[in-house]
Amino acid sequence: MERTFAMIKPEGVARGLVGAIIQRIERKGYRIVALKMLRLTPEMAARHYAEHQGKPFYGALVDHITSGPVVAMVLEGPGVIAGLRRMMGPTNPQDAPPGTIRGDFALEVGQNVIHGSDSPASAEREIALFFSPAELTDK
């Protein structure tokens, strides 16, 4: 069964959106395989966002993602990688339609409340970065 990595970003936690976001994910039918709250170190942020190193927004991105606690999750379900990305909506919340998480809960690209893996390779890499195999629950 397909798995993906999702993370409610610091502003989502600070704004009290954890329950609302998780409710949408569970209501869709995806299974939460693992879940924890943590604050990223700069080293973890650099590994997580390695693909963006050198881009103009990279420094702000790392500063932001390390600015407070996040909620990290592994989700499972058929087509969950693309499916979660559809539920999230586009990167820029101003382009995100109503009904998507970013469309309903966010306005700024740097404050778009949720991360989701963008491919099977990213999902595998990001799950391993945040969770040990023993933390991934079986049904």
Q: What residues are annotated to the active site?
A: 115
**By CB under 6 A, is residue 61 in contact with ligand RTP?**
yes
User: Could you say which residues in the range 69-108 bind Mg ion, by CB under 5 A?
Assistant: none
Residue 53 touching ligand RTP (CB under 6 A): no
- Residue 119's binding partner among ligand RTP, Mg ion, none (Cβ under 5 to 8 angstroms by kind) is none
Nearest in space to 123 (alpha carbons), one of 89, 57, 86, 75: 75
> CB pairs under 8 A, 24+ apart, for 55-64?
57/110, 60/110, 61/110, 64/9, 64/10, 64/110, 64/111
DSSP tally for the chain: helices H, then strands E: 7, 4
Cβ 76 to ligand RTP shortest distance, Å: 18
Task: Look up tokens 């190193």; give the residue.
Answer: 53
Instruction: Report the residue number whose CB is nearest to ligand RTP.
Output: 91
**Nearer Cβ to ligand RTP, position 68 or 110?**
110
Which residues form the interface with ligand RTP (CB under 6 A)? 57, 61, 91, 109-110, 112, 115-116, 118
